[in-house]
Amino acid sequence: MVTTSPIRRASAQKLGAEEGDDSSRQLIWQRRVQRLKSHFSTFSAIYLCGFFLFCIDTPMFMIESSKLRALEAGVCREYYRHVGNAIILPDGSIPENLCKVHEIQQSLAKLRGVQGFLEEIPGLFLAIPYGILADARGGKVTIILAMFGVALSESWVLTVLLFPNVFPVRATWFSPLFRILGGGIPVIVGSCWAMFAGFSPPNLRTRIFFYIGIVQMATQLVGPMVGLLLMETVGPYITYFLGIWLQVLGLPILLLLPSTIAKNEQVLENDLDAPIAISPEWNLTNIREQFNGLLVHFKDSVFPLLRPTIIIGLLAMFVNCLVQPILQILMQYMSVKFHWPISQTSYIISIRAIVQIAILVAVLPYLHHIFTKRVAIPATADLYVARTSITFLITGALAMGLAAHAPSFMIALIVFSVGSGFTQAMRSFMTSLVPRHEIGLLYTIMAIFDSIGALTATPLLAYSFSYGISKGGMLIGLPFFIVAGMYCISGVSVWCLNARLENESCHDCGEEEALLGAG
């Protein structure tokens, strides 16, 4: 009989244990790799969308301060030509500190107000036709067209400002004509958010929207800083030029994204009774067919979509149009009231972005999770988040208007920024009210409401700011008081949404009923 020594037995047991450990480690590693593959398979399109958004938004915020400074220089130059050329340097430039005269700043505010008003008109009238095109051919086509239209529009503004002896500064008002190509910013925003919603699993949509919001805030953090460095290095005009065409360089990322058309077709095949938004074979050959097609589309899809709760939600989201005008006024406001150079006002946008990133990363997802556990329905949790956020927006806007010094204004801006989750929460809630094949149409309608709001808000805030500059004192904060009032109206709309079920409505995930509100 052969016996094994205790030493050999111990060695064999140790070897077996090591082999077992290696096997378990390998199994754990394989599971991790598999989970990682599954994660990227599910969310790769979301990551690409976020990267695309970063690439096109960063240059947009990069040029804000340079565009403002270039416009201010144009208005300033015309003012001093009228009162006397002695102040204009041989190269045609004027020291920035001499452009802070109230008459110049009033004219600048009015110029930007009219400019913003005119830029929204193409989107208002073309959002629906381009939205139909997006449903038929995918959002990529409309985004590409709109991006080139915006680039050409901004290039015209730059051309006017570069040749002051040829063009008056008001010739910049012709730039919106180029936005007929693609429909402008509203079409870009609507198409992008429709893609985000189409690629997002319904149960994770709100959290993904928060993360997309983080990407947006990151662009507001990086863009102004890059713009500031470039302005100090190469001046506002070259910075403006680089920012315009850097936006276009992000377009190749769209080619890597899958199309959402196939998903919509599959949903329509599974739901034969669903209203057909549009068929990919929709190919109009003349104006009469196009007009008839639009009428049919409105009758079969647009009007049925405008249910009472959708309309109330759209009214609540009407304040989305305030974001860009507020950012524009912030920079000029700090320059006028606290005598900051325009290049330094870029810090305002970056500070706001830092606060918003912190809120979107650390606070809102946790808050939404708590609300979801409490009410068990994500859409109701969305409304709770929206109600909380709108309260901070109202308080912050009032405080900014009342702030007499820069530090108190910064604190008020931080309070205002805490409400940054309102838009994402409301978008998620609104998306939960419609089936998947109507998401693109819903976001097109949202874009139209944004355009209508911007048509009134942009000139209203600009002219109220101009009036405040002329009167001085507390009235210089008049735009922020108006913003607070508009947010109050939005808050009333949010609180009017009640918890009940909408008959015969469906969700992306195939649910049989849709939530209309939270009590």
Residue 268 pLDDT exceeds 50: no
Within 8 A by CB and 6+ apart from 25, the residues are none
Residue 9 pLDDT exceeds 80: no
Residue 282 pLDDT exceeds 60: no
Instruction: Check residue 176 and give its pLDDT.
Output: 94
Residue 514 pLDDT exceeds 50: no
Each residue of 121-157: pLDDT tens digit?
Answer: 888 888 778 877 776 777 788 889 999 999 999 999 9
The Cβ of residue 83 has, within 10 Å, a number of other Cβ atoms equal to 10
Pick from 510, 484, 492: nearest CA to 401? 484
Beta bridge pairs of residue 197: none
Instruction: Check residue 393 and give its pLDDT.
Output: 93
Each residue of 457-472: pLDDT tens digit?
Answer: 888 898 899 899 988 8
Instruction: Check residue 47 and give its pLDDT.
Output: 87
CA 68 from chain centre, in angstroms, equals 20
| DSSP-derived 3-state class of residue 515 | strand
Residue 382, CB-side half-sphere exposure with 13 Å CA sphere:
30
Each residue of 344-376: pLDDT tens digit?
Answer: 787 788 888 888 888 878 888 888 888 888 887
State the pLDDT confidence band at 379, using cuts at 50, 70 and 90: confident
Domains of the chain in start order, with CATH, are: 45-83+97-255+286-515 (1.20.1250.20)
Residue type, 420: S
Question: Which residue did the predictor score with more confidence, 250 or 89?
Answer: 250
Each residue of 425-439: pLDDT tens digit?
Answer: 888 888 888 777 777
Six-digit token string for 300: 């079969």
Rounded average pLDDT over 35-50: 77
Long-range contact set of residues 76-80: C-beta below 8 Å, sequence gap at least 24: 76/104, 77/164, 77/169, 78/164, 78/168, 78/169, 79/103, 79/104, 79/107
Within 8 A by CB and 6+ apart from 355, the residues are 413, 414, 417, 418, 420
Asked if 236 and 69 touch (Cβ cutoff 8 Å), the reply is: yes
Q: pLDDT > 70: what percent of the chain?
A: 79
Instruction: Check residue 27 and give its pLDDT.
Output: 73
Q: How far apart are alpha carbons 152 and 146 in whole angstroms? A: 10
Residue 75 pLDDT exceeds 80: yes
Q: How far apart are alpha carbons 482 and 464 in whole angstroms? A: 9
Residue type, 152: L
Q: pLDDT > 90: what percent of the chain?
A: 22
Rg of the chain over all Cα atoms, to the nearest angstrom: 27
Rounded average pLDDT over 22-35: 72
| Largest Cα span, the chain | 118
pTM across the whole model: 0.72
CA 129 from chain centre, in angstroms, equals 21
Six-digit token string for 224: 């102004």
Q: How far apart are alpha carbons 42 and 383 in whole angstroms? A: 27
Each residue of 169-186: pLDDT tens digit?
Answer: 999 999 999 999 988 887
Q: How far apart are alpha carbons 453 and 487 in whole angstroms? A: 12
State the pLDDT confidence band at 11, using cuts at 50, 70 and 90: low
The Cβ of residue 208 has, within 10 Å, a number of other Cβ atoms equal to 20
Residue 13 pLDDT exceeds 70: no
What are the helix (H) ranges across 235-377? 236-248, 261-270, 287-297, 303-305, 308-316, 323-337, 346-358, 364-375
Six-digit token string for 202: 């319904």
| DSSP-derived 3-state class of residue 501 | strand
Query: How high is the mean pLDDT of the chain?
Result: 79
